[in-house]
Amino acid sequence: MSLDQKYDAIVVGGGHNGLVAAAYLAKAGKSVVLLEGATELGGATTSVRPFPEYDAKLSRYSYLVSLLPDQIVADLGINFKTLERSIASYTPIRKDGEDSGLLISQRWDERTAEDFRKLTGSDKEGQAWQGFYNEIAELAERIAPYMLKPLKSASELKSEIGLPDVWDYLMERPIGEVIKERFQDDVVRGVVLTDALIGTFVSADDLQANRCFLYHLIGNGTGQWRVPQGGMGALVIELKRVAELNGVKINLNSYVSDIDSDENGVAVTTSSGAKYSAQDLLFAGAPQTLAKLRGKSAPNSLEGSQMKINMLLSKLPQLKSGVDPKLAFAGTFHINESYSQLENSYQLAKSGQIPGDLPLEMYCHTLTDPTILSPELNQRGFHTLTLFGLHTPAALFDKDPEGSKELAKKSAIESLNQYLAEPIESVLAVCKDGSLAIEAKSPLDLENDLGLPRGNIFHRDLDFPFIDGTERNELTWGSETDDSRIFLAGAGARRGGGVSGIAGHNAAMAVLSKH
């Protein structure tokens, strides 16, 4: 190998996980270089001004935080806060020509109980809801600390957690079956099911949905989805500050195009020809990319299946149901996500069609945290809306990427407008060139912009946070590969996925426990 610059560790990828891994290693006294292919850090956790004439910094890709453990924030000393939303969710409903909705507060209250009663005719469904989520909250609290420890086997973890019934229905039985058993109302069932399908193109009866569901409900021991203060980019700014403070050398525009490993260590070459060598390599891009660079076959994975649409509004739109938009948009706004609609949309998308009543979730960042807007825009009453459309897999966009994106965007807007008294187009801010302040990203855009394979937001399929017997020799932290000098530090590592820093932390621990 011709070696130019030697470090203890090379971190490839400057998304939040790469930054977390680099910061932990540098804090432990290791010399670290971080190589990021793009012109900026952050990967899927960036904030940008998509409409340059407006001083509004939107979380372009990921938008809410649940999985980031307080321990990582404290260990690294980052100044990053997340804020609670007063509303958990709102689902507008159109039934027999009447518009109403289901508003669920973050903490159970009489208003929520009343909405359940109005929708379902009794208190039974509301009680079922409280019982189900209380059980899961107990499991979340018990399982969360294990995310930052060496992996346990399923049977060890199950017995240490000590909630065998909850374990059975979350890890072993299809979540669709469980939801149908616990809830009777199609809308209520769908609100629950949505968490199992975010970015995950499966039917409710596929165990992959359970994995997605689990990660959506156990974050940081509470499962609460919180608003990143200052936007998602605020996390990246802090991680960069702490990494550099501890001596990490960060090189942008450094796409790693070649990886070599032998008994002397690892060496990488960037596409501009720069070479680096180190004892260990932590790869914080996708496992599929790592496999390609090493000439190995890539792990199988589902493709990404979501649209992300970012909007800047001159005011919040009124709703047909008459609910105050400041309440409706403050939490997660569910559209066309009843259980049957979700399953229908899945079948339609599987058959090659963009679903008409596109299921989507949406929220308004600025209702909880106005700091992403300039004081002037705040004063004028501007708001942002972040829309995440489900069941729009990458395959739907292959033939005609731009044309299909326009169709999917149209479908999302039509879905949303079904419930608005003022069409969304009438409240979108207008840009200097007369265009409306709305941008859409398809799974193919996510692949092009961020290197997410087929737009998979978790890099690859999520795994349960435990191992089976056969993996015992290979995995301790979930970051190990078949090369003892190369570790996975990004979302595609076991227990990665989402904005959590867990994969970065665990890869750093795997390296530190070696030396």
Ligand X SMILES: Cc1cc2nc3c(=O)[nH]c(=O)nc-3n(C[C@H](O)[C@H](O)[C@H](O)COP(=O)(O)OP(=O)(O)OC[C@H]3O[C@@H](n4cnc5c(N)ncnc54)[C@H](O)[C@@H]3O)c2cc1C
Residues that bind ligand X (CB under 6 A): 12-18, 35-38, 43-45, 61-64, 67, 255-256, 284-285, 289, 308, 446, 450-452, 457-458, 490-491, 496-499, 503
* CB of 447 vs ligand X, minimal distance in Å: 10
β-partners of residue 6 are 277
Pick 13 or 126: Cβ nearer ligand X? 13
Pick 373 or 452: Cβ nearer ligand X? 452
* CB of 273 vs ligand X, minimal distance in Å: 14
Pick 17 or 277: Cβ nearer ligand X? 17
Pick 319 or 354: Cβ nearer ligand X? 354
C-alpha 268/C-alpha 286 separation (Å) is: 16
β-partners of residue 34 are 11, 250
* CB of 496 vs ligand X, minimal distance in Å: 6
C-alpha 485/C-alpha 397 separation (Å) is: 38
Pairing relationship of beta strands 6-12 and 32-35 according to DSSP bridges:
parallel
C-alpha 384/C-alpha 367 separation (Å) is: 9
* CB of 23 vs ligand X, minimal distance in Å: 13
β-partners of residue 105 are 87
* CB of 154 vs ligand X, minimal distance in Å: 24
Give Cα separations from 302 to 209, 214, 387, 458 (angstroms): 12, 18, 22, 10
Whole-number CA gyration radius for the chain:
23
Phi, psi angles (nearest 5°) of residue 29? 95, 10
Asked if residue 283 lies in contact with residue 486, where contact means CB atoms within 8 angstroms, the answer is yes
* CB of 158 vs ligand X, minimal distance in Å: 25
* CB of 65 vs ligand X, minimal distance in Å: 6
Q: Contacts by 128-132 with C-beta closer than 8 Å and gap 24+?
A: 128/182, 128/183, 128/184, 129/183, 129/188, 129/192, 131/182, 132/182, 132/183, 132/192
* CB of 121 vs ligand X, minimal distance in Å: 34
- DSSP codes joined into one string, 167-198: HIIIIIS-HHHHHHHH---HHHHHHHHHTTTT
* CB of 494 vs ligand X, minimal distance in Å: 13
Pick 251 or 418: Cβ nearer ligand X? 251
* CB of 284 vs ligand X, minimal distance in Å: 5
Asked if residue 484 lies in contact with residue 447, where contact means CB atoms within 8 angstroms, the answer is no
Phi, psi angles (nearest 5°) of residue 451? 75, 20
* CB of 282 vs ligand X, minimal distance in Å: 11
Name residues whose C-beta falls within 8 Å of residue 180's C-beta, 6 or more positions apart in sequence.
189, 339
Pick 383 or 441: Cβ nearer ligand X? 441
Pick 205 or 483: Cβ nearer ligand X? 483
Pick 128 or 364: Cβ nearer ligand X? 364
Pick 68 or 323: Cβ nearer ligand X? 68
Pick 24 or 116: Cβ nearer ligand X? 24
Angle ∠(364,368,372) on CA atoms, nearest 5: 75
Pick 37 or 359: Cβ nearer ligand X? 37
| Burial class of residue 18 (count of CB atoms within 10 Å of its CB; 0-12, 13-18, 19+) | buried
